[in-house]
Structure 1
Amino acid sequence: MIQGFYRLLIELTNGRWTSGILRRFARSRASRFVVPSFAKIYHLNQEEMEKGLSEYPTLHDLFVRTLKKEARRIDKSHDVVVSPVDAVIEDVGPIKESSDIIVKGKTYSIQEMLGERELLAKYLNGTYMILYLSPSHYHRIHSPVDGIVTKQWTLGGKSYPVNKLGLKYGVRTLAKNYRVITEVKTEFGHVAVVKVGAMFVNSIETTHKGSELVKGGELAYFSFGSTVVLLFERNIFQIDSTLNTPKEIKVGERLGILRK
């Protein structure tokens, strides 16, 4: 019963018109009046922001804020994979031979998530990691590795919530939501960075230029809380032994190592 109600609520509130209304408000000058209360409710760390709170003319500008250069330290060790976002690590696990992953007791298809059958084989028996961004998090996405972009593509339409309730009661949220996928070739193998849109606001803006990625360099930003899924080719990734889930993590902090 709860599941049915939740799905109905999502369908009623996640249409083009409701998304458009929220997007227009967040980008309007009128939204500046809620910037202080938003920062207070979500306990934003104003000390690390590049600008003072009064300098954000809209709620959208606050969502996509940049940080002071010294606010995040990137682990530059050659073989280290770093977090691409400030987030909560919600889940880590193996990608089955069937292409399935199990998240919060639900089964998702990596094949459906990628939408590219010819790319799938290399990720079977690999590793996935799910990083959830709440509205309180810094919304810019950075490269977790050094490498070359081999392909980038967009899939999906509507977006369902990707928080704990969304993963539990939603319908294939990680594989069905609007998403922008960047596949990166490293000297160790391939890594896919799947940027998944959240409820109401699908906006994922790509900011990197060219094909070369430097670890810690900016890739894109979300206009609201959302999720990043990392997919690692089989036999190339070893998670850091100190990581447990759920765990808060920041951009540039160590997730694990790549190996040949």
Structure 2
Amino acid sequence: MSAVTWLTYVLPHRALSSAARKLAYSQNPKIKQWLIDTVVRKFGVNLSEAEESDASRYASFNAFFTRALKAGVRTPPTAPNWLSMPADGRVSQCGKIEAGRIFQAKGQSFTTAELLGDDALGARFNDGEFATIYLSPRDYHRVHMPCKGTLVETLHVPGRLFSVGPDAVRNVPRLFARNERLVCHFDTEFGPMMMVMVGALLVSGVETVWSGVEIPAYGDRIQRKDWRGKGITLDGFAEMARFNYGSTVIVLLPEGSGVWSNAMTAEAPVRLGEPMFELQR
């Protein structure tokens, strides 16, 4: 375990994330530009793909971090039976959910019920499929729909804010079921689909296209919102949500719905819109 991962056990997660939020939204020219230039340099951010490629024109670090892409630099699969990758990033893990347990790393797993914050919801995916996609600080931080879906409900599940970097994934037990997260439940033509936006250390928020800021505010109990009958249907490849700092999105699909692309292997780099999962119609 690295020193950084060890420190996350004792650091005041929410205080640090609140401080990071203030910095991220600061419009002080020197502060915001130093933050942007540091991240661009350290992580090799490719601003040529951004709708605004001039780093000095962003009003705040958060505006830079949640930047839009130029039209056409990412495209969805052309075959109708393919679900598309929801984000730029790297595959942490993907595959079958085994008897209700989702594989995190060697010797580490957690249950569907723990992740979703609901036993009944978890049971619907106990033999289903999952993909965990890690977004690093260099990546595009908007998450898009793998396919067309109608929003059923969301659950804001409070928790810790551990780092979700590779070392933490290897060493923090049940990491994704312990971190604060927003569970988004969609109905699709092949059954239920879960999109789980997992927060992390220094992540200053998650926003959705239908409701705005969801995390923070921080809470001490699960907050459930019922969106049935509200007519919130998003097309495949449409923007769904965004992280205000890098983190992880987990996709859950029902048993028997299809097969993963051969490219979906642990640690593989992926890009928004690439073919991710082939539906078996």
Do they superpose with TM above 0.5?
yes
- Greater helix share, structure number: 1
Q: What is aligned with 2:221?
A: none
- Partner SS for 2:9: helix
User: For the Cα contact (< 8 Å) 1:76–1:215, is it kept in 2?
Assistant: no
User: Match of 2:11, as an amino acid?
Assistant: T
- Partner SS for 1:13: coil
Instruction: Tell me, in whole angstroms, the C-alpha distance in 2 between the residues paired with 1:14 and 1:125.
Output: 36
Q: What is aligned with 2:135?
A: 133
Structural mapping, 1:34-45, within 5 Å: 34=34, 35-45=36-46
Structural mapping, 1:83-122, within 5 Å: 83-97=85-99, 99-105=100-106, 106-122=108-124
Range moving further from structure 2, 35-44 or 141-150:
35-44
TM-score under structure 1 length normalisation: 0.92
Instruction: Tell me, in whole angstroms, the C-alpha distance in 1 between the residues paired with 2:210 and 2:9.
Output: 33
What is the count of residue pairs matched by the alignment? 257
Q: Deviations over 1:121-141 (max 9, x none)?
A: 221111111100000100001
Shift of 1:76: 4.4
Shift of 1:188: 1.3
CA RMSD of aligned residues (A): 1.8
Shift of 1:225: 0.9
User: For the Cα contact (< 8 Å) 2:95–2:260, is it kept in 1?
Assistant: no
> Which of 237, 256, 262 does residue 241 from structure 1 map onto?
262
Are 1:164 and 2:162 matched, yes or no?
no
Q: What is aligned with 1:25?
A: 23
Shift of 1:80: 1.0
Q: List gaps (5 residues or longer) in structure 1.
A: none
User: Match of 1:212, as an amino acid?
Assistant: T
- Partner SS for 2:242: strand
Instruction: Tell me, in whole angstroms, the C-alpha distance in 2 between the residues paired with 1:259 and 1:177.
Output: 33
TM-score under structure 2 length normalisation: 0.86
User: For the Cα contact (< 8 Å) 1:36–1:53, is it kept in 2?
Assistant: yes
Instruction: Tell me, in whole angstroms, the C-alpha distance in 2 between the residues paired with 1:77 and 1:147.
Output: 17
Shift of 1:58: 1.5
Instruction: Tell me, in whole angstroms, the C-alpha distance in 2 between the residues paired with 1:33 and 1:172.
Output: 36
Shift of 1:251: 0.9
Percent identical among aligned pairs is 26
Shift of 1:176: 1.2
